[in-house]
Amino acid sequence: MNDENKSGSFANLLKTYSTDLPKNDDLVKGKVISVGNGEVRLDIGGVITGVVRGEELFSESEDFANIKVGDEVEATVLEQENENGEMELSFRAAGHRVVWAKMAKCITDGVTIKAKVVQVNKGGLMMQVDALMGFMPVSQLNPDHYPRVQGGDKNRILEHLKQFIGQDFQVKVLDANENEDKLIVSEKAVWEDDQKAVLDSYKVGNVIEGEISALTSFGAFVRFGEGLEGLVHISEIVWQRIDHPKDVLKVGQRVKAQIIDINRSKIYLSIKRLVEDPWKAVKDKYKIGQEVEGEIHKVENFGLMVKLDEEIHGLAHISELSDSVIKDLGVLRDRFKIGDRLKFAIVSIEPSEHRLGLKLSDDSLRIKQEGSDSKTETKEEVKEVIPEVEKSGEEDPAPAKE
């Protein structure tokens, strides 16, 4: 081949090479040929050497923190040629793609991974998951870490969560959306997997014995078995109406309960179903029209809750407490006090609904009205005396000297 042909072939090769050279932001694959001095060099297809250095090394990711000679890796082009004639590369953009792909695979495979709590807010915990920042809602904490705060006070919840900053949790990925930069993880999902075999040994209807571990406004938590915990809703504690579980239960108390539902890791219990429903026999004890004595144990804006005995409570509606309508709750509470024992007449009995209606008896109504009228007359008498003093222009006499 003559010199002219050789020259033409080289020119064509150079032209082809320049056309195929990766552009800025392109993703390229290469083999690691050296690692050291804060730099990693790659052989890009046997054509050009690329270098990754400085913050572009992306050491935050486990996949890029332990790179060694011979590894096949991906990188993003920053510059086609730097001051040393090498292609300037970055692991960061490529690394994020790799990590997001890994998170998606974690969902598919259902694997457990490690995440560190780096920050908290009232809604949950910010987690360092590989090279990404993820979020774990409070609802996804396992039962041992979940904040049982009276009344759901968000400030107290926040204080509870702060103790976890810096700790490593085992979590499962629930959602990984690279486009929205959203990564949601769950500690509870790991706990559910661990407890599945234990939960499978329990069935709805089983009776368990355990210890009251916490009381909240909506119910009581019972710890039983091998680290299991169930919820007794306030409506499933006793057959009577109560304002708070602490009215009849205390933390540490041993109780028996029946499993009424199992929903994944959530176990729902009932204490009252182990006791015969007293309302089934209510018509054997009480009759419509019967006059009974009861104790007021709560004053509501719609009437009085009255205890007839330890098992049966009734309602005296506000319309059944006076021959005139009482519209002001303040007036109702002024006339009737918790602990008052009064006579009532039974006006309705509905065993299936656990309802018994009462009406203040004529004698009690008369006594209450007379007491109220007496207070009213006394006030009127005072009002009549005061104008007389004001009209006379006289001042109150000074107290007599001894």
Confidence of residue 10 (pLDDT cuts 50, 70, 90): very low
90 vs 210: which has the higher pLDDT: 210
The lowest-confidence range among 35-44, 331-340, 387-396 is 387-396
The mean pLDDT of 1-10, rounded to a whole number, is: 50
Give one word for 342, left, alpha or beta, with left for phi > 0 and alpha for psi -120 to 50.
beta
Per-residue pLDDT at 14 exceeds 50: no
pTM of model > 0.75 = no
Residue 210 banded pLDDT, cuts 50, 70, 90: very high
pLDDT digits (tens, 9 = 90+) for 81-139: 888 889 999 888 777 888 898 899 999 999 999 999 999 998 999 999 988 899 999 99
User: For residues 329 and 85, which has the higher predicted lDDT (pLDDT)?
Assistant: 85
pLDDT reported for residue 352: 87
Task: DSSP letter for 330, please.
Answer: H
Does the pLDDT value for residue 5 go beyond 60? Answer: no
Is 211:222 a contact under the CB 8 Å cutoff? yes
- What average pLDDT does range 163-187 have in this prediction? 94
Q: Is pLDDT larger for residue 219 or for residue 56?
A: 219
pLDDT one-digit tens code per residue, 283-306 = 999 999 999 999 998 888 888 999
Residue 25 sits at the vertex; the CA angle it makes with 93 and 37, to the nearest 5 degrees, is 60
- pLDDT-derived band at 395 (thresholds 50, 70, 90) equals very low
Instruction: Kindly state the average pLDDT of the residues 31-44.
Output: 89
The answer, yes or no, to whether residue 307 has pLDDT greater than 70, is yes
Q: Where in the chain are the domains?
A: 18-97, 110-192, 201-274, 279-367
Q: Identify the pLDDT of residue 392.
A: 34
Percentage of residues in the chain with pLDDT exceeding 90?
42
Cα 232 to the center of its chain, rounded Å: 17
CATH fold of the domain at 110-192: OB fold (Dihydrolipoamide Acetyltransferase, E2P) (2.40.50)
In residues, how long is the chain?
A: 402
Residues near 272 by beta carbon (within 8 Å), at least 6 away in sequence: 236, 237, 238, 239
> Of 2.40.50.140, 4.10.410.60, 3.30.565.10, 2.40.160.10, which CATH number belongs to 201-274?
2.40.50.140
- Residue 324: the pLDDT is 55
> What are 230-265's pLDDT values in tens digits?
999 999 999 888 889 998 999 999 999 999 998 877
**pLDDT higher at 177 or 154:** 177
Is residue 384 very low, low, confident or very high in pLDDT (cuts 50, 70, 90)? very low
Mean pLDDT score of the chain: 81
Domains 18-97 and 110-192 agree in fold = yes
pLDDT of res. 237: 95
CATH 3.90.550.10 fits 18-97, yes or no: no
> Does pLDDT of 389 surpass 70?
no
Arithmetic mean of pLDDT, 70-77: 88
Mean pLDDT computed over 215-243: 90
Q: Which option is the CATH number for 279-367: 3.30.420.40, 1.10.1200.120, 2.40.50.140, 2.20.25.160?
A: 2.40.50.140
- In this prediction, residue 330 carries a pLDDT of 64
Give the confidence band of 335 by pLDDT, cuts at 50, 70, 90.
confident
Element (DSSP H or E) covering residue 72: strand 72-79
| pLDDT greater than 70 at residue 399 | no
- What pLDDT sits at residue 391? 34
In three state form, how does the secondary structure of 343-401 look?
Answer: EEEEEEEEHHHCEEEEEECHHHHHHHHHHHHHHHHHHHHHHHHHHHHHHHCCCCCCCCC
Residue with tokens 């009209």: 391
